[in-house]
Each structure stands twice: as C-alpha cells, then as structure tokens.
Amino acid sequence: MTVILCESEFSPYAELDAYQQGENAGRYGATAVFVGTMRDLNLGDEVAQMTLEHYPGMTERRLEQIVLEAQARWDLLDALVIHRVGAIKPGEAIVLVAVWTRHRGEAFAACRYIIEELKHTAPFWKKETIKDGERWVESNT
C-alpha cells in the first residue's frame, strides 16, 4: 500500500507499470484504476492553470487512513494512490487510484471508495486561474 504526493507532473501509466511487483503476480485477478485529469473547462470558463494547496502532514495521514479503511472492507492485495499538489496544467493527471484484488467486484468497489473518500475528506483545495484572474473552487461535486 503506497501513498505519494507529487509536486511535478507524473505519468499515471508509467507509474503503474513500474509499481507492479512480482510478489503478487498470479495472486491478483483484478486491477481497477481511476485517473483524474485536469480539464480546460470548469463552470463554463476556460481554465489556464490550477494550483492545488494542501495541508502537509494531514494529507498523507488522511490518504493512508482511507487506504486502510478500504483494506478493512475489501480483500485488497495492494493499493497505490498518487496525488498532485502545486501548479497543474490542463491535460495533466491530478490523481491516480489503483487497487489490486482477487476478484473484479471488490476492485471496482474499493477503487470507487478511495476516490470518493479522498475527494470529500482529504485536505486539498483547488484554485483556478481563469481569464479574469484567480478563484477558489468552493463546491465539490
């Protein structure tokens, strides 16, 4: 189980390719992956850049707790969470959640659980740069 905060652009599939260890080969039958990517449009406005502020220390703690909660609910063989912080451009990955399980039902459920909990409880805040200046993203869909 690995949680990483990342200050510069990362390639989610290269990270996944590098992460898959031999030790679990043959044991897992299902991998569910979610990648959240920055869009160039939000609330009808073109967004040129986004800055992701976070609460160092609490962020890592909350992400690790979420992964442990998922592990308690489903039979996870492994999980990887990577989240960007700092300045992000459209098209760049913001977050990667990947889980490895024996069966696909629990892979989908655990992956969904982690991204929803992350979104609603991990201390990240988005500030967008639009044509007219900057604005905090206050709502969380």
In angstroms, the CA 93 to CA 68 distance is 24
In angstroms, the CA 93 to CA 12 distance is 7
Per CB under 8 A, contacts with a copy of itself among 85-124 are 90-91, 102-104, 107-108, 111-112, 115
Which of other proteins, a copy of itself, none sits in contact with 118, Cβ below 5 to 8 A by type? other proteins
Among 7, 9, 40, 53, binds other proteins (CB under 8 A): 53
What number of other Cβ atoms are within 10 A of residue 63's Cβ? 24
Is there binding between residue 132 and a copy of itself (CB under 8 A)?
no
Which of a copy of itself, other proteins, none sits in contact with 137, Cβ below 5 to 8 A by type? other proteins
Among 31, 65, 71, 129, binds a copy of itself (CB under 8 A): 31
Helix (H), strand (E) at residue 99? strand 93-101
CA-to-CA separations, 23 to 12, 27, 35, 76, in angstroms, rounded: 21, 9, 24, 14
Binding site for a copy of itself (CB under 8 A): 11, 13-14, 16-17, 20, 25-41, 90-91, 102-104, 107-108, 111-112, 115, 141
